[in-house]
Amino acid sequence: MLVPLLIGVGAAFGAVSNSSAVMVSKEVPQNAGAAILAPFVSFSIEFSSLPDFAENTSKPNQFSNQILDNLANPQGVKPDRALYDPNIKTQINGTFVPSITEDFPWIISIGPSYFEADSTWPGAKFSHGFNLGENTTAAMDSLTATAPLACKALSHGNFAHWDLGNEPDFYKTMLAARPANWTESDYVAEWLSKSQIVKRQIAKACPDMVTNPAYKYIAPSFAGFTYGLDPVTTWEDGLGKNKDIGMNSMHNYMGSADSPGVTLAHTLMNHAAIVLSMVKHTNLSHTLSEKGLNKDIPYILGEMNSLAHQGQPRLSNSFGAALWGVDFNLYCASQSIGRTRMHQGTDYRYAS
């Protein structure tokens, strides 16, 4: 109905000025940004929510599959609180801790059928996340047990990348999962060690996968720039030593759902706020490139959406937020961001 209305308005107020042709060169300008990846916009799904979004092979979620056919494909699930229990008959067993969050289970165990979710969306590719946050014997046992299950589930043309650890810059601050003196070099040493443990386990179960050039990780998946670990120092300390990082991933939100002063007009429907939100990312991307630290590694926003902490009702799920999504993603494309992954979760307040 909108298009005929606009045509009618044009006819009522007179002729529209003739457009003129614009000549576009076949050559890429020297000052052009980096090419975006295909797909450009994809989804990041909360680890505990994947069974809700995808379900299992006996009852695949056809609604989600149809949406993905219409839109894009998922590119990541967040780990770091999940431990594997081979005796669980359901995909997931989650315990909520309301004092921490009511949005998702804080204590998570997954069973063998969890990985069936990776087979319910034909044509979709997944980046599976391994738990780095838990630093216990049980967590190490879970890591070695789930690597073979994950590789077998993703050996059918549906593998995108691996992800080891979610927002590790929070480990020594907000999450208190590491000592206060845990440094970038400590993180790098742990990441390199555990990524090799994963690779050895996958080599036993899926030998063809580890010899494939597509065997890559997304890293470091930091929440930001000032939460405890510096991304430049992290790369300087050898994060890319093993040449197995396929995408340099950072996270981004326009603010926090529970921060004062967050409004639709000021925070989301405000292009200047979008530009300001992206300045640190463009600066980091340029710095890493100038230092030769991420040669041929695309810079992506591995998790992003309007507001952190799962969005705000009547703001993150508004039409204005949908307009923000269009503006934000297009601006990212213009700033050499290779891909954006819009975060989703069961009953989150995001509408896009």
C-alpha span between 347 and 49 (Å, rounded): 9
Label residue 228 left, alpha or beta by phi (over 0 means left) and psi (-120 to 50 means alpha): left
Query: Which three-class secondary structure state does DSSP give residue 323?
Result: helix
Active site (annotated) includes residue 303: yes
Structure tokens at 148: 């073979």
C-alpha span between 118 and 135 (Å, rounded): 26
The closest of 223, 341, 218 to 281, measured between CA atoms, is: 223
Diameter of the chain measured on Cα atoms: 75
- Burial class of residue 247 in the structure, from the number of CB atoms within 10 Å of its CB (0-12 exposed, 13-18 middle, 19+ buried): buried
The closest of 170, 182, 81 to 134, measured between CA atoms, is: 81
C-alpha span between 77 and 171 (Å, rounded): 18
Query: Which three-class secondary structure state does DSSP give residue 181?
Result: coil
Helical spans, DSSP H, in the chain? 2-12, 50-54, 62-70, 137-153, 184-205, 207-210, 231-236, 271-290, 319-334
Active site (annotated) includes residue 27: no
Of 46, 167, 190, 303, catalytic: 303
- For residue 60, the surrounding DSSP H or E stretch is strand 59-60
Structure tokens at 168: 């590790």
Of 184, 190, 236, 290, catalytic: 184
Please spell the DSSP secondary structure of 211-242, one letter per residue: TSTT--EEEEEES-SSSS--HHHHHHTTTTTT
The closest of 195, 140, 191 to 162, measured between CA atoms, is: 195
Q: Enumerate the active-site residues.
A: 184, 303
